[in-house]
């Protein structure tokens, strides 16, 4: 199972530390003035979503054509073939308190948008250089199965499942798994899960043979001053951090440590004490890089030595 790290143009360039970096980018998280020329190298794979989560907050949704044009504009044409996977425009089922009628309308509109988007892609023959992912919106196994089949009928060959983050936040793991299982039953295991890397879900997702998942966990935890360790997975804070006790109360699974553990991530190999520094953005970045490697190792269960440059 592959891990895609969520990236914004204000984040550290993880691909400079990992040749096998996979990245998830949302158009609304990248300034229109940003250019990939600022990168010294590309990640191995990139998924670009439609920006749906941000659009629903604004209560406005661009047309499928506008979504596609914005996705294309982020990198332009000067990118390696098949590097980028574009996600179809969807309407998230968020917040979950919306009525069933409203949820069904959003599912129908998501499928309609996906079809228009796919037709635009075919008309412009973009499939020669890019991959395309159909986004599934569903609130139960039945709507998940239906949505997946419809997207497959349109012509999509890979699929992403959205709107699962609220279910994860409220601890409804069984419904998450039932929705994923319904999608897999409909179209196979060519499935990406958006925004979920909770430790309690990873092993089950592996068993389901889900292809990939993504999250912003490395940077989010770094901003909170947290350090991630793998095998077993732990979120930790250093004892001398004055916010540690409050953080532990908010994260019941958090762990306070009084010394750093042995680690062979690029940051710790060079100078592990950088993980103890706070305040400046560069110090947050050191934590984010460290967290990225440990989360990736936890998800992919790889031999660590192969990951180090």
The Cα–Cα gap between 143 and 170 comes to 20
Domains and CATH numbers, the chain: 2-215 (3.20.20.105), 219-307 (no CATH)
Is residue 81 over pLDDT 50?
yes
Average pLDDT over residues 220-235: 92
Per-residue pLDDT band at 108 (split at 50, 70, 90): very high
Estimate the crossing angle of helix 281-300 against helix 199-207, to 10 degrees.
40
* Pure H helices in the chain: 52-58, 64-75, 100-123, 141-154, 165-169, 173-187, 199-207, 217-223, 244-250, 266-270, 281-300
Is residue 254 over pLDDT 80?
no
Average pLDDT over residues 39-60: 90
Point out the least confidently predicted range of 116-120, 135-139, 200-204. 200-204
Closest CA to 11 of 284, 279, 308, 296: 284
How many Cβ atoms sit within 10 Å of the Cβ of residue 279?
Answer: 7
Per-residue pLDDT band at 304 (split at 50, 70, 90): very low
The pLDDT of residue 252 is 52
| Model pLDDT for residues 134-190, shown as the tens digit of each residue | 999 999 999 999 999 999 999 999 999 999 988 887 878 999 999 999 999 999 999
pTM score = 0.91
Is residue 130 over pLDDT 90?
yes
Average pLDDT over residues 279-292: 95
* Pure H helices in 76-162: 100-123, 141-154
Is residue 67 over pLDDT 90?
yes
Is residue 256 over pLDDT 50?
yes
Is residue 27 over pLDDT 70?
yes
Of 198 and 144, more confident? 144
The pLDDT of residue 240 is 62
The pLDDT of residue 305 is 40
| Model pLDDT for residues 94-104, shown as the tens digit of each residue | 877 889 999 99
The pLDDT of residue 78 is 74
């Amino acid at each position: 199972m592959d891990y895609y790290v969520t990236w914004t143009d204000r984040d550290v360039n993880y691909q400079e530390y990992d040749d096998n970096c996979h990245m998830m980018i949302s158009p609304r998280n990248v300034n229109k003035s940003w250019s990939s020329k600022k990168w010294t190298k590309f990640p191995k794979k990139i998924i670009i979503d439609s920006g749906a989560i941000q659009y629903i907050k604004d209560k406005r949704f661009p047309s499928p054509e506008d979504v596609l044009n914005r996705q294309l504009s982020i990198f332009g044409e000067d990118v390696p073939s098949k590097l980028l996977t574009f996600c179809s425009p969807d309407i998230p089922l968020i917040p979950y308190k919306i009525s069933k009628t409203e949820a069904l309308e959003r599912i129908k509109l998501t499928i309609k948008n996906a079809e228009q988007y796919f037709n635009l892609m075919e008309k412009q023959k973009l499939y020669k250089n890019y991959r395309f992912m159909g986004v599934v919106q569903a609130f139960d196994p039945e709507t998940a199965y239906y949505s997946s089949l419809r997207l497959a009928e349109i012509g999509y060959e890979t699929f992403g499942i959205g709107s699962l983050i609220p279910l994860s936040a409220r601890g409804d793991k069984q419904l998450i798994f039932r929705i994923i299982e319904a999608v897999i039953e409909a179209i196979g295991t060519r499935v990406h899960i958006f925004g979920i890397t909770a430790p309690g879900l990873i092993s089950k997702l592996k068993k389901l043979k889900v292809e990939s998942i993504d999250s912003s966990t490395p940077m989010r935890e770094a901003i909170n001053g947290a350090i991630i360790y793998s095998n077993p997975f732990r979120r930790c804070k250093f004892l001398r951090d004055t916010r540690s006790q409050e953080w532990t109360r908010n994260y019941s699974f958090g762990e306070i440590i009084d010394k750093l553990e042995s680690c062979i991530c690029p940051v710790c190999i060079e100078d592990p004490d950088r993980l103890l520094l706070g305040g400046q953005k560069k110090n947050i970045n050191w934590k984010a890089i460290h967290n990225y490697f440990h989360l990736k190792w936890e998800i992919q269960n790889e031999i660590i030595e192969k990951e180090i440059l």
